[in-house]
Every structure is written in C-alpha cells, then in structure tokens.
Amino acid sequence: MKMVMDPLGRILSLRRHRVMLSNDLAILYEVEPRVLIQAVKRNLERFPDDFMFQLSREEWADLKSQNVISSWGGARTPPYAFTEQGVAMLSSVLRSDRAIQVNIEVMRAFVRLRRILSENADLARRLDELENRYDEQFKTVFDALRQLMQPPEKKRRPIGFITPEDKKTP
C-alpha cells in the first residue's frame, strides 16, 4: 500500500497528548475532512475527550502560523485532534480496506515515535551520568592535551647589530 504522506511526520504534541489532526487523517484515509468528522459525530460515544478533542481557535491560529498555512480557503473551523486511541477507534467508524491499512500504519508510527523518544531520553540520561562521573578526569586529560598541542618556545636571536660584549652577557 502506498501512503500519501508519512504518518510519523504528522504526529503533533497538543495539550500534553500526541495527536494527529482530522485534516491529515482525512488525507491518509482518502476521504474529505467533513466526511471523516461526520462519521465521528454519528458515533460520538466511541470518542471520549481523551480520544479526540477539537482545537480551540487560538491553537488553530498558532498551528496555522507555525506551518505557514494560508488563511484563505480550506476549513473555517478548527480541526479535531485524535490521540492514538482515537485513531484506533476510527477503524471501527470508517469501514474500508483503506481505513484498516491506514490504521495499521498510523499505529506503527505512534509506536516508532514512542521508541525514538524513549531511546533518546535514555541516551541523554546516560551521557549526563558519564559527564558527571568522569568530569574531573576528563578535565585533566583535556588540560594535558592542550599543553601538548602548544609548540615549544623557540629561543630567538636579538635583532640588529650584536657586539662581542652582547654575546658574553647571558
């Protein structure tokens, strides 16, 4: 199955949730955004607040300005945001082979995102531990390396006429 866009790149963080917007999901499902929302509204009991919420006008304005989305054309109302569980619930509302395949790919994208965030947090934690543990030892090593990198001082001859008396004085 060929995806129109990478779902991982469309996962946003809003209200301390990782979500996908209804507009992006409609593109993936190859339906109009209004069709997706109508299907959801016919089944609202399946979408509690922790599965789906509508963006406020301020959130929508912020997203439009961040993504340089034109204010002309398109939806006039803020889109809906679907959490991972909300996207999973969409498969029971949108019944098509395409919906099944898209849901599988989106669920995989959420899992990849969780894995990436977990691995990066673990790596950052380990680096901090190493830095704290070996900070003093590495400081000594770096100081020694800096000294070795400096060229030795060369003895310079005085410039100009040198008398035999000048050569005798140390």
Number of continuous H segments (helices) and E segments (strands) in the chain: 6, 4
Q: How confident is the model at residue 160 (pLDDT cuts 50, 70, 90)?
A: confident
Residue bearing tokens 């109508």? 38
For 93, residues 6+ apart whose C-beta sits below 8 A from its C-beta are 39, 40, 42, 43, 46
Scan for tokens 């949730």, then name that residue.
17
Classify 29 as helix, strand or coil.
Answer: helix
Distance CA 131, CA 112 (A): 28
- Tell me which residue of 106, 118, 126, 99 sits closest to 40, measured CA to CA: 99
CATH of domain 7-122: 3.10.260
Whether the Cβ atoms of residue 23 and residue 121 lie closer than 8 Å to each other: no
Residues 6+ apart with CB under 8 A from 143: none
**Helix ranges, 71-96 (H):** 84-93
User: pLDDT per residue over 84-130, tens digit each?
Assistant: 899 888 888 887 888 888 888 888 888 888 888 787 777 767 766 76
| pLDDT at residue 3 in the model | 47
Residue 51 has pLDDT above 90, yes or no: yes
